[in-house]
Structure 1
Amino acid sequence: MAHDGVGPRAAMRSGAFLTAGILAVSALAACSADKEKTSKPLAAQDIAAAPRNLVADGGTLRWAIDAVPQTLNTFQSDADAATTRIAGAVLPSMFRLDANGRPQRDPDFLQSAKVVSTEPKQVVVYRLNQQAVWSDGREVGADDFAAQWRALSGKDSAYWTARNAGYDRIEKIERGRNNLEVKVTFGKPYADWRSLFSPLYPKDVTGTPDSFNDGARRNLKVTAGPFALKGVDHKKGDVTLTRSPRWWGRPAKLSEIVLVAVPRDERATALGEGRIDLADVDPEEAGRITLAARDKGATPLQGPSAATGEDGEGGAPESGQRSPLSGIEIRKSLEPAYTQLALNGSHGPLADERVRRAVARALDRTELAGLVLKPLGLPVVPVGSHLALSGQDAYRDGSGSLGRQDTEQAQALLADAGWERGRAVQEQKKAAGPEGGKASGSEAGDGKAPGRDDPQGHSDKHGGQHADDRVGKHIDGELPREHGREGGMPGAYAPKGTAAAGTPAAGAAAAATLVKDGKPLQLRFVLPYGPGSGPLHTVGDRIARMLDKVGIRTEITKVPDNGYFKDHIAAGDYDLALYSWPVTPYPATDARPIYAKPVPGADGSLNIEQNYTRVGTDQVDQLFDQAITTLDDGEERNLLRKADARIWAGAASIPLYQRPQLTAARTTLANVGAFGFQTPVYEDMGFLKKGARPGPAASPTAS
């Protein structure tokens, strides 16, 4: 749980601004009265879907992961994405996500599940598939549900759990007519009950603190899925899953899946050498792979990253040469995650809501999204919600006026907050003369473009002097280890986008520096430095120039990526920052800690949960509390949309764009790639039979 010192309170608002704020909130909330419209995902999944009868029986899929997981228990604090991937292949899940990011009953495990009573208490009855058995032959049943509830309820501190949301609302679990009927009674109503028991561990794991804490870290002796765990080899850096002989569903096409630890900047090489068959890649790596594919007529990615490598060199292989990457293609979609600009409201100018709103109104979010998505051929649509993405039930664009660029409104908000043109700055400009002033957003006289300075922890000031070196730490491209659910538990990770765009010519228009109480309006903008972070610098630099136009100066500080999140975001050592949040179908549960109002602790610290902007309101908390307790799906959606409108009004988090998802895959692989929202179907993955081709609209069928 994160803590921070209590920051200064925001300045008193003028009557005129309060009126404007109320009108803005009303306008944002009014959209909830519009006629219900079902949104669609902005980009479809790209998995080379093929019927099962075109997929060969057997073969080994070598799939890249960031690292061999430290634990196989998704409910522990150091669980990671690889932990989740393994659990999805070897353990039961009562509900899985479809292509729209909506939970659907998994018939291999669950015959039915429904709320059978709401008064006096909520009761859910699960009826399990009678064929569902663990790998030791025991049926999956009520005793497994009960053991997992006891482990995750939070009542027994001997269990080292990272999360217990939902399980802490259960009052009791009983066997129904038999062990395949599970009756769950909630002490408090819980709207997101479908999120529970996915994954479900055997009672062998959850039955005792020792087996939960230590037993499931390196091995899962008992499983129930299309694959079983064969072994984890930390020395070799791989995890082997093998086709389960106990699986009762459609048999897995692959004989084995080997998860191989490969750093992201080495994956193109590993693919070319045949060491892996499938890997999530960054745009720079995707560009190299696409160039190789051109030799056989494949459609390349668009944009400069497809034409050159990271160092500006590249090109198709010479005539007569066949690239080792020519059998690899890029499958692309959008992740169930979005990148945001975070504004730290605990201190300084951003403690004033008017200044935060001015930052929001200064941004052209469509332009920022285009920097990342357009070169990849993905839809350029800014994200309109903090709590859901297009295609999900709760999604509705709640950005209202704050989501649109308006320079005049931004400047008016700053003036209302007491920021005025600085006399000293104006006199300095006059003394410099028309030829002596330096370009907005660049270093005076050094010829550097903003964001292109020494990467080892140096800073650039947009509209200011060179800052002292600042060396920090950063996390890039991975979820915090306490979050392991497939589809993305809440967590912060720096986004990856496209190669850096060019810097505008010197002399770009900028407003005069603003001053209040003798101090200039300048914000420290912290960005990560490391492999794949170039796109963040591109987006950050463009944001800085947009802010420059309304008189807000920024000091861009680049810090090493191995501590960016812990040492800067979580610690509150920033004014502006870029990082991403995954979204789930359960925002009432998963998003609440991100926007909860910070609460002072008994020791004087501030309990911020996961609210790293340190901005929250009682009203938002109340809307989340109401949403989590209603069992009416329509009412829950409306409450969440109202909460989102008020989060927008607070202007501490500005959603920018949905993150791109790029997966490099052998052209012979089917039913695997950029999954988008959908939970992978492991039993359908495999290599195409000789001569078979996946159809663009094909979908797996039983065979």
Structure 2
Amino acid sequence: MRARLALPLALVAAVSVVATACQSSSGKDGGGPDGKDTPKAASAAVDYNPQPYENVKDGGTYTTVGTFDDQGNPFNVNATLTASRVWGWYNADAITYSPTGEVQYNADYYSEVKVAVEGGDQKVTLTINPKAAFNDGTPIDWTAIKATWKANNGSDEDFAASSTDGYDQITSVERGENAKQAVISFKGVNASWSTLFTTFLHPKAATVENFNKAYVKKAHPEWGAGPYTVAKWDTHSGNITFARNPKWWGRKGKLDKRVYVNLESTAGVNAFKNGQLDYTSAVDAESLKQIKGLKGTEIRSGGSPFEYSLYFNTKSAVLSETAVRKAIAESVDRAQIAKIQFQGLDYKEPLPGSAVLYSFQKGYEDNVSAVLKHAPDEAGKELDAAGWKPGADGVRVKNGKKLEVGYTLLGDDPLGKATAGALAAMLKPAGIHLVIEKGDDADFSKILSDRRFDLFLSGNRSMDPFGARYLCDFYCSDRDSNITGAGTPALDKEIRATTEIADLDKQSAAVNKVERKALRQYAFLPLFSGPSTYGVKKGLANVGATIFNTPLPETVGWQK
């Protein structure tokens, strides 16, 4: 149920966008495709039938598609989102987030949290619940926090850690007033420190051998903690069953059983239609059509921390000119792109305005609209001023060279082809000829790393609500993750200064100001985001589209 939140943003191929169920029906400068009724923030931002613990029945079973991965330790570099979700059903969910990203401390683990900055350095004091213990009887205390830090801080490269970011900023983890208190000292400040200790490792699991190998196709419920524990872990079928944990000190889990059944996604849709599953994901318009209107079920659809953008390679000869990039950006009708992508999906949201924050988040500002408007007439003027003159065939020419820009299209997805065709039509009135260049999905990483493109459509999924800390990944000139190649050392300095701001509100304000400067390089254009959409049996509580939120396992169940 929970995704580990300390992972970096991962670039994902986004030519076949509906495969991720991300969608938007955006309109010009924030309006819908029809120019009507578009909300100021992502509509139906959450849709998961939130119910207080008291409104959930005792008993019942909750069954979905899912299985264990080869690597079940979510801190390990080889773990996936699936491993994190399974982990969260029999290990600590000590810190979670609201749908829009506010930090929520679980008092069953951390009874008190204090954050202070002294002399420019941050100190976090975690007071751990006196009752908290791992299932093998080992008290959960400061040593678990220290063990988690040691395994992930990069000081011992034998640990195959997923990410050392943040952990490597910690200078020490020490015992506080007693063993139930951990004092974490940082060099400088880290406004998103909470992502580091949303869960933690049993000290026995934090040896190199166990960190890397103990959870490979195995569960270790004795090293876990929480309202549920492993009842059956079937390595043959891949099915997993969790049951109430008799050693749990908090509110008991409402469900008798929580079951993962190992099925492919298409088989999952059929199993949901047959009543075998309580919940399934609608990954595209076709699967949504199949599950919509089934008796005793409902569709839950809400916001999603995905965003798809057009990347401009500033290192290519044709896009090295800022005027050309700006003209392209002004020519692109983002609302039309969204309409193409999401035919058949009933959802509306505003156009995305930032690379790092979403419209449903506190601190979000529409930085794109502050810098750029859809203005095809202006695009022509930009090119005129830059010396690009209209040619006899309508394509502009400068110094004997035609204004031809490549667009790299991966695979044979119809929506990808339609999007490419639409972009070509949008750029034509400005005198820009879009050359659609086909590529293979398998070449995705190489195309980006080698910058073998002029224009490229790709997506990102934020793995935690602290998007401000990723500003450098998009815009710093010295970061490999900045695939546009844009940026300056002076801008890099301004971007990095935002990471030193401890107050999240002040950090967001600073990030918005700097991002507007970065967007004026016209090398990166957010296009659309979209929802998470699910089919759910009626009455299922605290399950569905939650954005950054992970409802605690003990609250999941069937509404009274």
Q: Report the TM-score range of the alignment, normalised by the length of the smaller protein.
A: 0.7 to 0.9
Contact 1:623/1:640 (8 A) holds in 2: no
Offset of 1:398 from its aligned partner?
A: 0.9
| Mapped contact 1:366–1:381 kept (Cα < 8 A) | no
Note closer, same or farther for the CA distance 1:615–1:228 as it changes in structure 2 (3 Å cut): farther
Q: Is the contact between residue 623 and residue 642 of structure 1 (CA under 8 Å) also seen in structure 2?
A: no
Q: Give the structure 2 partner of residue 366 of structure 1.
A: 335
Q: Is the 8 A contact 1:370 1:380 kept in 2?
A: no
AA in 1 matched with 2:552:
V
Does structure 1 residue 247 correspond to structure 2 residue 126?
A: no
Q: Does 1:421 align with 2:390?
A: yes
Instruction: Tell me the matched-pair count.
Output: 520
Aligned counterparts of 1:573 and 1:47: Cα–Cα separation in 2: 42
- The structure-2 alpha-carbon separation of the partners of 1:537 and 1:243, relative to structure 1 and needing over 3 Å to count, comes to farther
Whose radius of gyration is greater, 1 or 2?
1
Structure-2 change in CA distance of 1:85 and 1:169 (3 Å): same
Match of 2:28 in 1: none
Q: In the superposition, relative to structure 1, how do residues 564 and 64 fare at CA in structure 2: closer, same or farther (>3 Å)?
A: farther
- Separation in 2, partners of 1:223, 1:344: 47
The match for 1:332 among 279, 293, 301 is 301
Structure 1 counterpart of 2:22: none
CA contact (8 A) 1:135 1:223 kept: yes
Partner of residue 211, structure 1: 210
Of residues 419, 422, 434, the one that matches 1:542 is 422
**Residue 623 (str. 1) matches residue 505 (str. 2):** no
Identity %: 27
For the aligned residues, what is the CA RMSD?
2.7
- Describe the shift of the 1:120–1:516 C-alpha distance in structure 2 as closer, same or farther (beyond 3 A): closer
Q: Which moved more, 1:167-176 or 1:86-95?
A: 86-95
Q: Under a length normalisation based on structure 2, what TM-score does the superposition of the two structures give?
A: 0.85
Task: Give the conservation status (yes or no) of the 8 Å contact 1:115–1:123.
Answer: yes
Q: TM-score normalised to the size of structure 1?
A: 0.69
**Partners of 1:357 and 1:575 in 2: CA distance:** 14
Q: CA deviation digits over 1:363-385, x for unaligned, max 9?
A: 22233334456853322310111
What is residue 381 of structure 2 aligned with on the other side? 412
Distance in 1, Cα, partners of 2:231 & 2:358: 37
Question: Which residue matches 2:16?
Answer: none
CA 1:272/1:237 → structure 2, altered by over 3 Å: closer, same or farther?
same
Contact 1:191 1:627 in 2 (8 A): no
Aligned-pair distance for 1:70? 2.8
- Kindly state the Cα deviation for residue 349 of structure 1 after the two structures are TM-superposed: 1.3
Find the partner of 1:682 among 523, 533, 553: 553
Alignment of 1:189-204 (within 5 A): 189-204=189-204
CA distance in 1, matches of 2:475, 2:236: 41
1:431 counterpart residue number: none
* Cα distance per residue 1:660-680 (max 9 Å; x no partner): 211111224222112223223
Gaps of 5+ in 1: 2-38, 294-324, 427-511, 599-607, 693-703
Shift in alpha-carbon separation, 1:264–1:539, aligned structure 2, 3 A: farther
- Tell me the CA shift for residue 516 of structure 1: 3.4
Counterpart contact for 2:129–2:180, Cα < 8 Å: yes
2:45–2:360 contact (8 Å) kept in structure 1: no
In structure 2, the partner of 1:672 is 543
User: CA distance change for structure 1 residues 621 and 579 in 2, over 3 Å: closer, same or farther?
Assistant: same
Report the Cα distance in structure 2 between the residues aligned to 1:41 and 1:139, rounded to whole angstroms.
43
Partners in 1 of 2:435 and 2:233 — Cα distance?
45
Alpha-carbon contact 1:394-1:640 (below 8 Å) kept? no
Preserved CA contact (<8 Å) 1:94 1:110:
yes
The C-alpha deviation readout for 1:230-270, integer Å capped at 9, x for no partner, is 55555424444333222222222223333334444443223
What CA deviation, in whole Å up to 9, does each residue of 1:70-117 have, x standing for no partner? 312223333222122123333324431102222222222212222234
SS in 2 for 1:149: helix
> CA deviation digits over 1:406-448, x for unaligned, max 9?
112212223344433234xx3xxxxxxxxxxxxxxxxxxxxxx
1:533-682 correspondence to structure 2 within 5 Å: 533-561=413-441, 563=442, 565-583=444-462, 584-598=464-478, 608-682=479-553
Structure 1 residue 155: deviation in Å?
A: 1.4
State the shift of 1:60 in Å. 3.0
Q: Secondary structure at the match of 1:204?
A: helix
Instruction: Say whether the 8 Å CA contact 2:120–2:189 is kept in structure 1.
Output: no
Shift of 1:536: 4.1
Answer yes or no: is the 8 Å Cα contact 2:68–2:217 preserved in 1.
no
Deviation for aligned residue 1:582: 2.1
Aligned CA distance change for structure 1 residues 677 and 148 (closer, same or farther; 3 Å): closer
**Cα distance in 2, alignment partners of residues 233 and 623 from structure 1:** 52
Contact 1:64–1:261 at 8 Å: present in 2 too?
yes
CA distance in 2, matches of 1:235, 1:419: 65
**What are the equivalent positions in structure 2 for 1:183-582 lying under 5 Å apart?**
183-206=183-206, 208-221=207-220, 222-230=223-231, 232-233=233-234, 235-289=236-290, 293=293, 325-372=294-341, 375-400=344-369, 402-423=371-392, 426=393, 512-529=394-411, 533-561=413-441, 563=442, 565-582=444-461
CA apart distance, 1:395: 0.9
Task: Return the alpha-carbon distance in structure 1 between the equivalents of residues 414 and 402 of structure 2.
Answer: 29
User: Which deviations, in whole Å up to 9, do the C-alpha atoms of 1:439-493 show, x marking residues without a partner?
Assistant: xxxxxxxxxxxxxxxxxxxxxxxxxxxxxxxxxxxxxxxxxxxxxxxxxxxxxxx
Deviation at 1:654, TM superposition (A): 0.9
Provide, for residues 260-302 of structure 1, a one-character-per-residue CA deviation record: whole Å limited to 9, x for no partner. 34444443223223443212222323442355x1xxxxxxxxx
Partner AA of 1:555 in structure 2 = V
Give the distance between the partners of 2:208 and 2:140, measured in 1 at CA: 21
Change (3 A) 1:120 1:232: same
Kept in 2, the 8 Å contact 1:387–1:394? The answer is: no
